[in-house]
Amino acid sequence: MVEHDSLIAAAKQARENAHAPYSNFRVGAALRATSGRVYTGCNVENSTYGLTVCAERVAIFKAISEGERGFDAIAVVTHTDVLTPPCGACRQIIWEFCGDVPVILANLKGQVEVHRMSKLFPKPFDSSFL
């Protein structure tokens, strides 16, 4: 897990910027590009909930908007006792832009699990169906 420590630390730091006044469910994500650069994101809630954006999508969209196209890992950090995987929308976006990357789940208690995207999202819809 040592190779994931810096990515987890970046996700923890990003979590501090979360805007979660309604749910108090603060999430941080850190995405490592194949260039070595790390892009972070936090969840940003909206009172309608439907306009809320998850941390994973914020990190990916930041990276894409900066011109990155290759990624090799993403970390997601929450404060929960049970490690929290990405939601369905985030799984689709992770698959679309990152492929079968390792998804590192961590919490503030130091628990860590690593799952391949293909295990979290076994039958994805992607461009191969178009």
Which of 45, 56, 68, 96 is labelled catalytic?
56
Per the annotation, the verdict on 56 as an active-site residue is yes
In the chain, alpha helices (H)? 5-15, 55-65, 88-98, 117-120
Phi and psi angles of residue 31, each rounded to the nearest 5 degrees, phi first: -115, 125
Distant-in-sequence, close-in-space partners of 61: CB < 8 Å, separation ≥ 6: 41
Alpha carbon distance 100, 94 (integer Å):
8
| Strand, helix or coil for residue 3 | helix
Alpha carbon distance 38, 125 (integer Å):
26
Active site residues: 56
